[in-house]
Structure 1
Amino acid sequence: MRITRVLGAALLALGLAAGPAAADPSPSPSASGDGKSPTQAGTSFRTATEIEQGQRATASGSAGDYLYWSFPADTGQRPTVEATVKLPDTHGSQTWQLDVYDGLRRRQACQYGAATRTAAQGASSVELACVLRTVRGWAEPWANDPLPGTYYVRLTVVGLGASDLGQPVGAEVRVDSKDIGGAAAVDGRLGKPLVPGIAVKSEADGDDSKTAVLSSFGSDDGWSSGWWSDRWVWTAIGAVLAALAGIGGYALTRGSGRPGNVPPQV
């Protein structure tokens, strides 16, 4: 009976510990509440158009232009960037490419996805996708691991005929993330996220001139990079399971409580 009560209490504690882990502790950012989607793209890193995760951005341009957007990504997120290029009615074969850079302007490799695709002659559109590696809270200086901060999306054509250069095209970009959580947690954290813009004047300063605003990401909710992750919850669950195994092993091996070398009393 005592063993049953102990096991019941341990299972109750296990359920309470697993509850917070089952919930999503830091959901991916949603689209901005103003309902306005960006309708233009920047032409460089400094003028990249800001978009939030879950927000659809569109832009018009010409074949041969470089189109730039930027978005925030935090620790434990695995961003997915999708782009669709709408081509003119008449065109030759074109090859488009989607590149993603971090806050230090280091090109990030795609974990999977078709980041470069060729549209056949007369095709109406071409779709590109890039799934990044999971953003880490900390990395060695020599590593190229994705870190929390600003990420840049660059969309451009890398192969087309001379007759197609300058033809009008339309672009649509969307960024979403999957929260990986403690499975990708590491010890250590950055002093500050990789968000450029320290030397760039923000629009909040009252300057009406056209300036890049690269430091507004994460200003409301902050960044979650730090020592805490849900792996601590699973560590506690492992400790409870180990305690249960110890109690069960003791209950099975302790015997009847009478030493084996003492004969029974008559």
Structure 2
Amino acid sequence: MRFRRVLSTALLLLGVAAAPAVADSSPSPSPSGDDSAPTRAGTSFRTATEIGQGSRATASGSAGDYLYWSFPADAGQRPTVKATVKLPQASTRGASETWQVDVYDGLRRRQACQYGAQTRTAAQDTATVELSCTLRTVRAWSETWADDPLPGTYYIRLTATGLPASELGLPVGAEVKVDSKDIGGAAAVDGSLGKPLVPGIATSAKKSDSGSGSSKTALSSIEPDDGWTSGWWSDRWVWTAIGGILAALAGIGGYALTRGSGRPSRVPPGI
């Protein structure tokens, strides 16, 4: 009876410990929280258009231009960038076109794609080109010499490569979307950044309606809904607690099986 009570209590504690992991695995809403999608792209890192994960952004440009967007990615996430390019009419193009999407981290280091079609060549009669790039899982901490993806702002750069001069400037349309898969404790590390790698506050000269002047402009204001975690919590803590509870149950069960009924065995008379 005592063993059953101990087992019931341990199972109850196991359910309480696993509850945060189940709640944490549910998808979070889009950080943007806004139905209006951006309709333009930046032309450099500093002017990159900010988009939230799960939202689409569109832009019009010219063949040969660099189109930039930025998005936030936190520890434990594995972002996937998808881009669709609407090419000019086939009659205006003389040959095939090669398009490429690159992703850079907050230190402007180009991040390798774990998988996906990062570069594609479209034939002359092709109307659209679809590109994708799935990054490695964002780590909460890394060595200074490593190029691991870290929490912060990431930049998307979309452009055509090797275009002939006759096709430069032709109108194109672009659409990008960023989604992430939450990897969780499987990618957890012991350590965290002091701050996420996001652009700070820069002073830029602007002309106001009444004249010239300078004002402070935030280069990056977008972040995840629940803020930057920087790896302080992961479901690895939950599974560690579950392992400890199971080990305790195994010890209690082994003790109950080996100690017997607790009563001394009867000794036959005459011995």
1:180 alignment counterpart: 183
2:103 alignment counterpart: 100
- 1:139 offset after TM fit, Å? 0.8
Count of aligned pairs: 263
Contact (CA 8 Å) 2:205, 2:213: kept in 1 or not?
no
Q: 1:124 aligns with which of 121, 124, 127?
A: 127
Matched-pair identity in % = 75
Residue 83 to residue 265, structure 1, CA distance change in 2 (3 Å) = farther
Q: Which amino acid aligns with 1:39?
A: T
Structure 2 matches for 1:29-44, cutoff 5 A?
Answer: 30=30, 32-44=32-44
- 1:114 offset after TM fit, Å? 0.7
Contact (CA 8 Å) 1:114, 1:130: kept in 2 or not?
yes
Contact (CA 8 Å) 1:71, 1:152: kept in 2 or not?
yes
- 1:34 offset after TM fit, Å? 3.6
Residue aligned with 1:23, SS: helix
Q: Which amino acid aligns with 1:44?
A: S
Q: CA RMSD in A?
A: 2.7
Of 216-225 and 152-161, deviating more is 216-225
Structure 2: distance between partners of 1:112 and 1:47: 28
2:20 alignment counterpart: 20
Residue aligned with 2:255, SS: helix
Unmatched runs of 5 consecutive residues or more in structure 1: none
Contact (CA 8 Å) 1:54, 1:174: kept in 2 or not?
yes
1:146 alignment counterpart: 149
2:197 alignment counterpart: 194
Higher share in strand: 2
Contact (CA 8 Å) 1:201, 1:213: kept in 2 or not?
no
Unmatched runs of 5 consecutive residues or more in structure 2: none
Structure 2 matches for 1:205-244, cutoff 5 A?
Answer: 213-218=218-223, 221-244=226-249
Structure 2: distance between partners of 1:78 and 1:111: 10
1:112 alignment counterpart: 115
Contact (CA 8 Å) 1:81, 1:174: kept in 2 or not?
yes
Structure 2: distance between partners of 1:38 and 1:210: 24
